[in-house]
Amino acid sequence: MRILGIDPGSRITGYGVIDSDGKRSRYIDSGCVLIETGPLTDKLGVIFTEIERIVILHRPQVVSVEQVFVSRNVASALKLGHARGAAICAVVNHGLAVSEYSPRSVKQAVVGSGAADKQQIQHMVCRLLGISHALRADAADALAVALCHAHTCSTLQRFPQRIHGRRR
């Protein structure tokens, strides 16, 4: 399964692409969409266009996106929400399913601690994917979101399916 992970931001949006069979994951590509200063509408257009370009280039089967972390600055959270919306619209426009994960869940899945810092995430992403070059924090975060989805899907496949609360 090819997974596109997205770490949205109004100034930097990270992306990461992996292939995973649930047991092993393989690095395909990662990077950052760098958004220059300007009106928010122009920034959202750049995010939409670049994420759409990445979807066309890599043909992911599913997309995972980090949820908004609401801090004390409501204006920043709102801008982040707009950036997420632009990225999600770009992938949904191509008929892709989107899964969302909290920052804590992503850290837990990749590092083993929901309180992990950026350096720990970068280190573990490189270890898990066999990456020898340095990654920007936003690209590493996006790869972590993709790995979180791969681990979650693998775990869910081990449990019996339930239909209307009953086992099949």
Token pair belonging to 63: 């997309």
Q: Which one of 42, 66, 117, 141 is the catalytic residue?
A: 66
Give the DSSP H/E element, type plus range, for residue 57: helix 40-58
Rounded to whole angstroms, the Cα distance separating 99 from 168 reads: 25
Token pair belonging to 90: 């770009």
- What is the CB neighbour count within 10 angstroms for residue 120? 15
User: 31 burial class (0-12, 13-18, 19+ CB within 10 angstroms)?
Assistant: middle
52 catalytic residue (yes or no) = no
Report in angstroms the alpha-carbon separations of 161 from 35, 109, 120, 130.
43, 22, 34, 33
50 catalytic residue (yes or no) = no
| 53: CB partners within 8 A, 6+ apart | none
Q: Which one of 19, 52, 138, 141 is the catalytic residue?
A: 138
36 catalytic residue (yes or no) = no
Amino acid letter, residue 91:
V
Q: Which residues are catalytic?
A: 7, 66, 138
